[in-house]
Chains A and B, each alone.
Chain A
Amino acid sequence: MLSYTLKRLLQAIPTLLIVITISFFLMRVAPGGPFDGERQLPPEIEANLMAAYHLDEPLPMQYLRYMGNLIQGDFGPSFKYKDFSVTELIAQGFPVSLEIGGLAILLALLLGLPLGIAAALKRNSTVDYLVMGTALTGIAVPNFVIAPIFALVFGVLLGWLPAGGWNGGALPNLILPVVALSIQQIAYIARMMRASMIEVLGSHFIRTARAKGLNEGEVIWRHAIRPALLPVVSYLGPAIAGIITGSVVIEQIFGIPGIGRYFVQGALNRDYTLVMGTVVFYGILIVVMNLIVDLLYSALDPQIRYDD
């Protein structure tokens, strides 16, 4: 188990290097500098700025400097939010994004898994058709459509919940964004759990369990659920990536001060260091999440621990 963990950790390093390298060089080949646009700066001031940000150095030097700083957790200064470093912006935004994203994935699992199981157990019943029909809608209607409609209906028309804003993370402000963010994943997880549950229920070892004289509850609870969970667990990696991506629009729509919003603002303002910092941060986050998911999988499936 330990060696497996170490091995997976080592495999994560090249991924991170690729993310950082791609982002770095993409940013540096970008046409137009970070100080274009506002107004024409006098050449000497621009040169000073360039020197201050080490933009006058040769590219490999800049790359090494950036890497060195990264290792110390320093993403460099933001070009647009002049008083903040990128690290500070991420540190501000991350707890907010984490709360929304974490709750969304939790909600997706808490609703998606039981719905999928129920649909599988009551296959071809009204429950099944209802769950699967809703799930297909959840997949077909993107979150950036659902979110504004929620805001319009529950926030503006009915006035039950705030249509936007963060308010320090008060519960009413959380509900709409979390639900909007999780709907698609609820749908995917329910569909996947249903399919995998149906497959497991048809497998030979379930027949064995029934032949032992176990009752349906014991058969399902002890023998069916864990094997059926395996494909869903391996989907958690992409699911988390989906939630992170989704959080970008959700934060934008509901005006939530998370990293996603900084990222979009940075992208629209060409705040290179901010965008790059966020991409690298997201990269690390996704790699770490994938690692956790893999370890979770290996904890559920004994065979993985020894193979590979």
Chain B
Amino acid sequence: MTSDSKPYSGEQSNAAPLPAGGPNPPRSPDPEPDALPEAAPAGESLARDAWRRLSQNRAAMASLALLIAIIVMCIVGPCLPWGLAEVDWNAFGTGPTLENAHFLGTDANGRDLLTRVLYGGRVSLSVALVASFVSLVIGVLYGAISGYLGGRVDNLMMRFVDIMYSLPFMFLVILLMVVFGRNIFLIYAAIGAVEWLDMARIVRGQTLALKRREYIEAAHALGVRDSKIVTRHLIPNAIGPVIVYVTLTVPKVILLESFLSFLGLGVQEPLTSWGVLISEGVSMMEGSPWMLLVPSAFLAVTLFCLNFLGDGLRDALDPKTR
């Protein structure tokens, strides 16, 4: 298809509706066929445009609401009547009941499952946030440096990433956990150190593409300083794909942490996480299936929402759909 056979891909879609009684310029600005309606005082920035499109995506907005709900629940979890390791001597392995406020039942040791799931959620989500942040920092720095310097340095740095890509990372992380013991900070660092590769590639690609953009060249021609070019032009324009990628990294990290914890190589008592709870649930699933289903549901819903949100953000920020 040539461009003029796609009447819908033009700029019409972006044109703001004509405001009633808006300023009517005396001179006709530009009598072009695709000229806009008269000027609205303020334009719509890309960020606001993206937010508008995201808010029209019902699945993404529902996911966002659900995610916020889960996060809030995990934060207020300690307000529940039962403590993390508190044993209810009257309820060993009971199913979900309103009695004694065991809304989602108890485990075999008489500990309230909802309380444990919410505490576990804190660990899982904190790992997700910290490790994603670690991967974000490493990835952005590495990718931006590689892309900005270009040439031989870029070549060397990307060759290194290629090699890292083909490593059996999961196993090296496990090795790390075996060697240094199961420590939550190590989990943060190890997972973050695994997940930065994609981010580095994305940021490098963005930097390379943006470097060639004519508005960057125009800024050079204006004599704008390098530091200003980076802060005013490079970063704001590279940030969209980075945000999208972070939303897609978070579920990966959560999955990785629960995978490790499930195998018994992640967080340890007295801490717990969704992976640990699922693992406990598996061993008890014949008698007390809720012990498997409850933490699994929390994990799955969170992952589901994050994926939906990431897809929604990508659609909202993708310049191709604009």
A/B touching: CB–CB < 8 A: yes
Q: Which A residues have a C-beta under 8 Å from some C-beta of B?
A: 12, 14-15, 18-19, 22-23, 26-27, 29-31, 136-137, 139-142, 144-145, 148-149, 151-152, 156, 207, 237, 241, 244-245, 248-249, 252-253, 263-264, 267-268, 270, 275-276, 278-279, 282-283, 285-287, 290
15 contacting pairs across A/B (C-beta < 8 A):
A19-B167, A19-B172, A139-B303, A142-B255, A142-B303, A144-B262, A145-B296, A149-B292, A253-B282, A263-B171, A267-B265, A279-B172, A283-B167, A287-B166, A290-B166
Once A18-B163, A18-B167, A245-B170 are accepted as A-B contacts, the answer to whether A141 and B303 lie under 8 Å apart by CB is: yes
Output the nearest chain A residue to B292 by Cβ-Cβ distance.
Answer: A148
Q: Check B85 for interface membership: any CB of A closer than 8 A.
A: no
Tell me if B239 is interfacial: C-beta within 8 Å of chain A: no
How far is the CB of A236 from the nearest CB of chain B, in Å?
13
| One of A139, A207, A264 near B263 (C-beta < 8 A) | A264
Nearest opposing residue in chain B for A204, CB measure: B1
With beta carbons under 8 angstroms apart, the residue of B180, B259, B292, B308 that contacts A142 is: B259
Contact B175 A26 (CB under 8 A): yes
What residue of chain A has the Cβ atom nearest to residue B301's Cβ?
A: A140
The residue from A30, A137, A207, A241 contacting B304, defined by CB atoms under 8 A apart: A137
> Is B299 engaged at the interface, CB distance under 8 Å to the other chain?
yes
Q: How far is the CA of A45 from the CA of B322 in the complex (A)?
A: 73
* Residues B162-185 near A (CB distance < 8 A): 163, 166-168, 170-172, 174-181
Q: How many angstroms from the CA of A145 to the CA of B265 in the assembled complex? A: 17
Rounded to whole Å, the gap between the CB of B214 and the closest CB of chain A is 26
Q: Min CB distance, B176 to chain A, in Å?
A: 7
Cβ-defined contact, B179 with A26, below 8 A: yes
Closest Cβ neighbor of A23 among chain B residues: B175
B263 and A252 form a contact (CB under 8 A): yes
B302 closest partner in A (C-beta): A140
- Cβ distance B162 to chain A, nearest Cβ, rounded Å: 8
**A contact residues around B301 at 8 Å (CB):** 140
Is there a chain A Cβ closer than 8 Å to B300's Cβ? yes
Which 8 residue pairs of A and B lie closest in terms of their CB atoms, listed nearest first?
A: A140-B304, A140-B303, A30-B179, A148-B282, A145-B296, A282-B168, A279-B171, A245-B170
Kindly list chain A residues whose C-beta atoms are within 8 Å of the C-beta of B131. Answer: none
In the bound complex, how far is the Cα of B181 from the Cα of A30, in angstroms?
9
Q: Give the chain A neighbours of B65 by CB distance below 8 A.
A: none
**Main SS of chain B's interface residues?**
helix
Question: How far is B167's CA from A263's CA once the two chains are assembled, in angstroms?
Answer: 17
Q: Select which of A14, A26, A29, A145 is within 8 A of B300 by beta carbon.
A: A145
Whether B168 lies near A249 (C-beta < 8 A) is no
Distance of A143 Cα from B307 Cα, bound (Å): 16
Check if B81 is an interface residue, CB within 8 A of chain A. Answer: no
B-side contacts of A145, CB under 8 Å? 278, 292, 296, 299-300
Q: Please give the distance in Å from B2's CB to the nearest CB on chain A.
A: 10
Question: Is B285 part of the contact surface with A, judged by Cβ < 8 Å?
Answer: yes
Contact A249 B171 (CB under 8 A): no
A148-B285, A267-B178 are known contacts. Are A286 and B262 too (CB-CB below 8 A)?
no
How many angstroms between the C-alpha atoms of A278 and B179 in the bound complex?
15
Contact of B285 among A30, A31, A152, A252 (CB under 8 A): A152
User: Chain B contacts of A152 at CB under 8 A?
Assistant: 285-286, 289, 292
Q: Which residues of A contact B206 (CB under 8 A)?
A: none
Q: Please, how many angstroms separate the alpha-carbon atoms of A264 and B251 in the complex?
A: 24
Given the known inter-chain contacts A23-B172, A263-B171, A279-B172, please indicate yes or no for A29 contacting B166, CB distance below 8 A.
no
Contact A142/B258 with A27-B175, A136-B308, A148-B285 known, Cβ cut-off 8 Å: yes
Question: A244's closest neighbor in chain B, by CB?
Answer: B168
Residue B264 interfacial (CB < 8 Å): yes
Minimal Cβ-Cβ distance residue in B for A155 = B286
- In angstroms, Cα B5 to Cα A207, docked, is 13
Expressed in whole angstroms, the minimum distance between the Cβ of A207 and any Cβ of chain B is 7
Residue among A142, A237, A252, A275 with the highest chain B CB neighbour number at 10 A: A142
Nearest-neighbour CB distance to chain B for A97, whole angstroms, equals 13
- CB pair B179–A136 under 8 Å, yes or no, is no
Apart from A31-B179, A267-B265, list 17 A-B contacts with CB within 8 A: A15-B167, A18-B163, A19-B168, A140-B307, A144-B262, A144-B279, A145-B300, A148-B282, A149-B292, A152-B286, A241-B168, A244-B168, A248-B170, A252-B263, A267-B178, A270-B178, A286-B166
